[in-house]
Structure 1
Amino acid sequence: MEELVTQIIGYLRGMWRYRWWGLALAWVVGIVGGVVIYTMPDTYESKARIYVDTDSVLRPLMSGLAIQPNVGQQVAMLSRTLISRPNVEKLITMADLDLSVRTPEERERLINSLMSDLRIGAERGTNLFSLSYADTRPEQAQRVVQSLMSLFVESGLGGKRQDTDAARRFIEEQIIGYEQKLNEAENRLKDFRLRNMALLGSGTGDYISQIGAMNEQLQQARLELREAENSREAMKDQLIGSKDEEETLAPPPMMATPEIDARLDTLKRNLDDMLQRYTEQHPDVAGARRVIADLEAQKLEQIEQMRQSGVAAPMMGFGDNGAAQQLQLALAEAEGRVASLRARVGEYEARLEQLQASAKRIPEIEAEMAQLNRDYAVHKSNYERLLERRESANIGADMSAQAGIADFRVIDPPTLPNKPSAPNRLLLLPLAGLVGLAAGFALTFLISQLRPAFSDPRTLREVTGLPVLGTVSMLHTSARTRARRRGLLAFSSGLVAYAGAFVAATVALKFIQA
């Protein structure tokens, strides 16, 4: 610590030797600084304050029904992005700043100056914005702030309207596109259903259950056919036995086909009964008609054969035996039932084969059907959502047009300043004095380092590395002492005069500005 103090004292002694150089430089720097500060042009700052009211009675009422953007956030973003080159160029025209511009270079300098000097600030937690601009002419500063305020309001409203119109146009384009996609998907689905109508069926069950049901019906029909065939065979056996017992009592032969006639009569009666219960397309009805047609053809063929051969057939087999006639009629009815059941069995077998063949294509058809339904469902869902968004956007636009996006209220209009806001000469003048003193102090320190001197034996010994045998003290005479006092007084007077000059200049400037 002692070494540090000694070193500082050594620096101060060396600087003291060149104190007049420092004082002279301080006066020069101070005077130059004062002149520069005094000759600086005055700038006038115009300010305005705007309150943006983003609250609306309609907004909570239309919540969930209309699109409601965050107006506060949009206004805050607008305040940050308003000072852009296109807006500044528009502002130059609005404020008539381009009247004094002659060259593109001057216009570029003006644009850069405005972008750096324009100020838009927002108070934290509120929608209160302040606009300010400083210029050497107060009227021009006021015009610039007025134009900036108009640009702020117009950009907020116009930008929002443009965003709404762009959003609505985009939604309309998407709706048209999805409407076309939805129509195409509906046509594909319709064509697919028409092509595969037989395979799709009524949609009441899958092909596995249909095949199972058809198998059960086929087995039941086959069982009924076997029962009918067994009953018919029993009747035939009984009829043959009756013929053997009464062979001698047979009537004279006649040109007739009693067996075929009896079967035809029975089948026609059965057909009439079935037509009362079924339609023409029923398999039993179709089978009965085929059997009747076959029997009629067989009857004609048999009569023709008997005519050609000259052989007469009995009319009813045993016309005088009533039991035989009843048995023959029952046999004919049994034949008709057997033929009908055979037709039913054949129809069921054909249907079963068709179902089994179609069942092999079911997985492919179901996969294609699922893909078509999925595409259709996706397009339909997107289309319906876009319709909802369009209606919501329309209501939001109408609500904005009715209630306004935001209410811009001018709290403080642009002011016409009558006092300069800069430069602050009352602050700059003392700073210029301090800068002059700092410059003089730095000069004395620099000269003392360039032209060093030893002020004590210790420093000499440390620098040279040689032993110091002794020192010779200076005897101060009265004349030298008086000269030293006069020099100290003169330096002090110069320093006090320097400080007094700046104090006087500051006080005088304050009275002038007042």
Structure 2
Amino acid sequence: MEDILRQLSVILRGMWLYRWWGLAAAWIVGPIAAATVYLLPDRYESSARVYVDTQSILKPLMSGLAVQPNVDQQINILSRTLISRPNVEKLIRMADLDLTVKNKEEREALIASVTKSLEIRVAAGRDNLYTLAYTDTDAERAKRVVQSLVSMFVESGLGDKRKDSDTARKFIEEQIKAYEQKLEEAENRLKEYKLRNLNTVGTGGRDYFSKMNDAGEQLNQAKLALREAENSRDALKRQLTGEEPVLLPENPSSATLATVSVPELDGRIEALKKSLDGLLQRFTDQHPDVVGARKQIESLEAQKIQEIKARRKAAPSGGSAMGSANANPVFQQLKMSLAEAEANVASLHARVAEYESRVQSLNASSRMLPQIEAEFTQLNRDYDVNKRNYDALVARRESATMAVEMGATSGVADFRLIDPPTVPSKPAAPNRLLLMPGAGLAALLLGAAISFLISQIRPTFSDTQVLREVTGLAVLGSVSMLADPDRLRNLRRGKIVFLGGVGALVGLFSAMTVWLMLARMA
């Protein structure tokens, strides 16, 4: 600490030797600084306060139905990004600040100056209260700029919301169209799949297995009915053989032969006739199936005639037996029942064959069932995903539309101009009452700095210790100078003059400060 004080003492004594240089520099710089402070142009600040009301009674009522944007965050971002180059250029045009601009350099300087002078402040504790301010040398121009800035602030908020809503709706519409196309493609794939596998699967594998079970049950029922019909036919045959034999006349005619019953052939002929009736309902007489059925009937009828003739030849007696057989009503009834039983058996044979064919076809198709089910599951999954996304997008579009209509009806954010911009009557800058003492203090500090620099450039040794430290040599002694009365008088006079010069400089700046204060109060 002692060394620090000693070094400080050495520095001050060196500065004291060159005090007149410092005083001269202070007197040169001081008046210039005072004149500069006095001649600084007045800058007027015009401001306006805007309150943004983001609370709406419709917001809680429409919660869950319409999109609820974060209006507070939007306004906060807007206030931070409003002072941008495009907005500043627009503001310059709105406020007619570019009327005197002649070239690109001047325009760039004007943009930089306006950007620096614009300010948006948020009130402490009030996030929705904004102060828009602008400082300029022309009070009227400052008011005009602030008024334009308020208009831009309000329009930017509403315009951005409308732009964001339109952009969102346009994006959703594009996505909806894309998903509509995907749904159409998925529906077409499902349609083609169902048409391709219509005979195998109805709407799923469960229907296929149900169809197989039904076909199996139908086949079993048909086989059971066939066995019942065959048993019934066999019983009729046994009953018929227990009655009187069929006796034919010696020279029967074709009509007579036609009335004679041969159970084995009559059943087949009756079945073919029923089948022929079904074919005639679907085809013409020239159809190959119809022609083939008729040939079979003719063949069986010819065979029946031959059978009757053969029985006639084998019969032991003639006409009286024939009459007795034909007169037996039980015998005739049994023949009719046997014919019906033969026809029924033939029909059931055809039904059993058809059901067996169906079951074989279903069994053959069942090998492809896992692949078909996997394909159907994949198609359903793709369709369900696209359908859910499509429904969600449609719901969001309706919600966005409702939000836009809600904002257009009541306004999600209400901009209220609390304090409109006015023409300032007094300048806001520069603060000469603060700058003038500062300029005086700066002049004194500059003078002290000049004295210090000269003392460092032209150092002196104030005592033997400093000389010994600088040279590194031993100092044997020192010679003191005794001042006579005249020298002491001159030294005293010099101190007074120096202090008077410093006091005069301080008094000058103090007088200027008092004068400025009185001028402001006037």
Look up the match of 2:433.
Answer: 426
Deviation per residue, 1:123-146 (Å, 9 max, x gap): 244311111111111111111111
Query: What are the superposed Cα offsets for residues 289-318 of structure 1, whole Å, 9 maximum, x if unpaired?
Result: xxx989955641224536998956877996
Cα distance change on mapping 1:317 and 1:212 into 2, 3 Å: farther
* Pairing of 1:1-400 with structure 2 (within 5 A): 1-124=1-124, 125-201=126-202, 205-219=206-220, 221-222=222-223, 225=226, 229=230, 242=242, 255=257, 257-260=260-263, 264=267, 296-297=297-298, 299-305=300-306, 332=339, 334-400=341-407
> C-alpha separation between the residues in 1 aligned to 2:493 and 2:203?
128
Amino acid at match of 2:61: L
Structure 1 residue 474 displacement after superposition: 2.1
TM-score (ref. length: structure 2)? 0.83
Q: Which amino acid aligns with 1:422?
A: A
What amino acid maps onto 1:161 in structure 2?
Answer: R
- Listed as ranges, the gaps of 5+ residues in structure 2 are 283-292, 316-321
SS in structure 2 of the partner of residue 51 of structure 1: strand
- Kept in 2, the 8 Å contact 1:306–1:312? The answer is no
Answering whether residue 454 of structure 2 is matched by residue 447 of structure 1, we say: yes
Aligned equivalents of 2:305, 2:247: Cα separation in 1: 23
CA distance in 2, matches of 1:437, 1:477: 33
Secondary structure in structure 2 of the residue aligned to 1:133: strand
Decide whether the 8 Å contact of 1:264 with 1:295 is kept in 2: no
Check 1:312–1:435 CA distance in 2 against 1; reply closer, same or farther (3 A cut). Answer: farther
| Equivalent position to 1:436, from 443, 446, 466 | 443
Comparing 465-474 with 221-230, greater Cα deviation is found at 221-230
Offset at 1:386?
A: 2.7
Q: Number of aligned pairs? A: 492
* 8 Å contact kept, 2:83–2:115: yes
- CA offset at residue 225 of structure 1? 4.3
* 2:402 equivalent to 1:403: no
Letter aligned with residue 54 of structure 1: T
Q: Any idea what the Cα deviations from partners look like across 1:145-196, whole Å, max 9, x if unmatched?
A: 1111111112222232233233333333433443344334333333332333
Give SS of 2:199's match.
helix
Q: Distance in 2 between matches of 1:456 and 1:104?
A: 65
Identity of aligned residues (%): 54
Letter in 2 for 1:449: Q
Which amino acid in structure 2 is aligned with residue 129 of structure 1? Answer: Y
Shift in CA distance, 192/317, structure 1 to aligned 2, threshold 3 Å: farther
State the partner residue of 1:289. Answer: none
2:319 maps to none
- In 2, the alpha carbon distance for the partners of 1:334 and 1:22 equals 147
Question: What secondary structure, in the 3-state scheme, does the structure 2 residue paired with 1:411 have?
Answer: strand
User: Aligned residue for 2:423?
Assistant: 416
CA distance in 1, matches of 2:222, 2:324: 32
In structure 2, the CA distance between the partners of 1:140 and 1:202, relative to structure 1 (3 Å rule), is: closer
- Measured in 1, the distance between the counterparts of 2:210 and 2:182 equals 36
Instruction: Describe the superposition over 1:35-78 as per-residue Cα deviations: whole angstroms up to 9, x where unpaired.
Output: 22112111111111111112222222222222232222222221
Q: Where in structure 1 are there 5+ consecutive unaligned residues?
A: 282-291
The alignment yields a C-alpha RMSD, in angstroms, of 3.6
State TM-score, norm by structure 1: 0.84
CA distance in 2: counterparts of 1:202 and 1:138, whole angstroms: 82
AA aligned opposite 1:104 = K
